[in-house]
């Protein structure tokens, strides 16, 4: 009799992807005992007792910081990720974030929601708002991209198409020969060099011991006066207290992030989203298809892709 594999899903995984694991060979659900593999999105697995039956774990997203990767590798269990599968969704939200911040959209919407009175009075208030919420354009401004993997490269490309200048820094790309990015992307040799010259800075590095607190107090001060920081990577990459101080002193124009915190709640200049970067139908389907294929190829053929 052919083997049936058990797949434990710790989060909702798009059915478009799960269809790639045929029911004749796979039992899939959130209550599978002794699973052969685990599919996870946001669930923190660090405190979880991972059954000895597990042969592979796949994260339906780019980062694997919610999975105990070292512990699993000591057990010989590969941890797959869906590198690149949600990159377009994140790119679109990063560009949206730059536009929201540069055009003062969030406070302007709050202003419009607070308008009261008859049409003549509204007209007068709108004239005031128009002056008060005037913004800046992206064209001709400089975007600094820290981390030039799948997401950082797409963001760089989109920014170039919007007429921005782009500077890139990637700790993994240390030699010029490895710099295979479009010639329009200038290479910064240090984070500091990038920060000094950028009107917008966007982070696309994974959360690792080396990137925790990457944007600290000193680096906030190194950023250009009036610049905007965007963090669609992981909250711990930024020292939020340092950024809040930078906003309070008006050294920074804005902080656009995908992680609301109690500390930052309601602070002027903050635009916080509920970790929406990869939350599109397309990205969820793409990630699910990629991890389903990875798990199937590994369980059935022992292939290792994106670990
Ligand atoms: C990622 O690492 O790609 C995101 O955190 C994905 C997600 O929103 O689950």
**Could you say which DSSP state residue 212 is in?**
T
Most ligand 1 atoms within 8 A of CB, residue of 39, 41, 91 to mutate: 41
Q: Which residues line ligand 1 (CB under 6 A)?
A: 41-42, 61-63, 86, 275, 278
Strand partners, 59: 40, 81
Ligand 1 atom closest to the Cα of residue 279 is 8
What is the pLDDT at residue 178? 67
Most ligand 1 atoms within 8 A of CB, residue of 278, 281, 288 to mutate: 278
What is the pLDDT at residue 174? 64
What is the pLDDT at residue 123? 93
Per-residue pLDDT at 177 exceeds 70: no
Residue 276 CA to residue 256 CA, distance in Å, equals: 12
What is the DSSP secondary-structure string of 53-102? Answer: T--EEEESSS--TTS-HHHHHHTT--EEE-TTTTHHHHHHHHHHHHHHHH
Sign of CA dihedral 120, 121, 126, 131: positive
Most ligand 1 atoms within 8 A of CB, residue of 9, 44, 63, 235 to mutate: 63
Q: Output the CA 61–ligand 1 centroid distance in Å.
A: 4
What is the pLDDT at residue 150? 93
Q: What is the mean pLDDT of residues 192-213?
A: 97
Per-residue pLDDT at 1 exceeds 70: no
Q: List, for residues 120-164, the tens digit of each pLDDT value.
A: 999 999 999 999 999 999 999 999 999 999 999 999 999 999 999
**Could you say which DSSP state residue 190 is in?**
S
Looking at the domain covering 87-272, what would its CATH class be?
A: alpha beta
Q: Output the CA 215–ligand 1 centroid distance in Å.
A: 20
pLDDT band of 89, cuts 50, 70, 90: very high
Distances (CA, A) of 82 to 1, 212, 289: 32, 22, 9
Q: How far is CA 76 from the centre of its chain?
A: 28
CB 48 within 8 A of CB 71: no
Residues of the chain with CATH 3.40.50.720: 5-85+281-301, 87-272
Give the 3-state secondary structure of 264-307. Answer: CCCCCCEEECCCCCCCCHHHHHHHHHHHHHHHHHHHHHCCCCCC
What is the pLDDT at residue 289? 98
Closest CA to 236 of 222, 257, 254, 262: 257
Q: Output the CA 131–ligand 1 centroid distance in Å.
A: 38
Regarding an ipTM greater than 0.85, the answer is yes
Closest CA to 41 of 261, 210, 304, 283: 283
Please name the residue whose Cα sits nearest to atom 6 of ligand 1: 61
10 Å CB burial of residue 133 (0-12, 13-18, 19+) is middle
Q: Output the CA 62–ligand 1 centroid distance in Å.
A: 6
Q: List, for residues 148-160, the tens digit of each pLDDT value.
A: 999 999 999 999 9
CB 62 within 8 A of CB 83: yes
What is the pLDDT at residue 30? 96
Closest CA to 247 of 217, 274, 277, 275: 217
Q: Output the CA 40–ligand 1 centroid distance in Å.
A: 10
Residue 201 CA to residue 305 CA, distance in Å, equals: 31
Q: Output the CA 129–ligand 1 centroid distance in Å.
A: 37
Q: What is the mean pLDDT of residues 237-257?
A: 97
User: 3-class SS at 33?
Assistant: coil
Look over the chain and give the mean of its residue pLDDT values, rounded to a whole number: 95
CA angle 261-256-272, nearest 5°?
35
Those residues whose C-beta lies under 8 Å from the C-beta of residue 219, and which sit 6 or more positions away, are 191, 192, 195, 242
Per-residue pLDDT at 266 exceeds 90: no
What is the pLDDT at residue 173? 75
What is the pLDDT at residue 203? 98
What is the pLDDT at residue 181? 81
What is the pLDDT at residue 285? 98
Topology of domain 5-85+281-301 in CATH is Rossmann fold (3.40.50)
The residue assigned the tokens 């780019």 is 62
What is the pLDDT at residue 176? 66
pLDDT band of 182, cuts 50, 70, 90: confident
Q: Output the CA 237–ligand 1 centroid distance in Å.
A: 15
Buried b (16+ CB within 10 A) or exposed e, 139-168: eebbbbbbbbbbbbbbbbebbeebebbbbb
Per-residue pLDDT at 98 exceeds 80: yes
Q: List, for residues 213-233, the tens digit of each pLDDT value.
A: 999 999 999 999 999 999 999
Please name the residue whose Cα sits nearest to atom 4 of ligand 1: 61
């Amino acid at each position: 009799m052919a083997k049936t594999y058990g797949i434990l899903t710790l989060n909702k995984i798009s059915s478009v992807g799960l269809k790639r694991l045929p029911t004749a060979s796979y039992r899939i659900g959130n209550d599978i005992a002794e699973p052969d593999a685990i599919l996870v999105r946001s669930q923190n697995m660090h405190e979880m007792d991972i059954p000895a039956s597990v042969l592979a774990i796949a994260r339906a997203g780019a980062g694997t910081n919610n999975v105990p990767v070292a512990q699993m590798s000591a057990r010989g269990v590969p941890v797959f990720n869906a590198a690149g599968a949600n990159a377009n969704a994140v790119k679109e939200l990063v560009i949206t974030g730059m536009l929201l911040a540069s055009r003062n959209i969030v406070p302007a919407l709050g202003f419009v929601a607070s308008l009261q009175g008859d049409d003549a009075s509204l007209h007068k208030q709108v004239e005031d708002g128009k002056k008060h919420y005037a913004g800046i354009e992206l064209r001709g401004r400089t975007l600094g991209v820290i981390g030039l993997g799948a997401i950082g490269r797409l963001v760089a490309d989109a920014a170039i198409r919007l007429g921005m200048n782009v500077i890139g820094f990637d700790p993994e790309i240390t030699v010029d020969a490895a710099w295979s990015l479009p010639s329009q992307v200038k290479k910064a040799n240090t984070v500091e060099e990038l920060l000094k010259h950028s009107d917008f800075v966007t982070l696309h590095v994974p959360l690792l011991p080396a990137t925790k607190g990457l944007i600290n107090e000193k680096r906030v001060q190194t950023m250009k006066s009036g610049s905007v920081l965007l963090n669609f990577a992981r909250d711990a990459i930024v020292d939020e207290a340092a950024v809040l101080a930078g906003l309070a002193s008006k050294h920074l124009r804005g902080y656009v992030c995908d992680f609301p915190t109690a500390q930052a709640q309601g602070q002027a200049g903050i635009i916080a989203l509920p970790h929406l970067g990869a939350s599109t139908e397309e990205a969820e389907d793409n990630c699910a298809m990629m991890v389903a294929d990875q798990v199937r190829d590994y369980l059935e053929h022992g292939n290792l892709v994106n670990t």
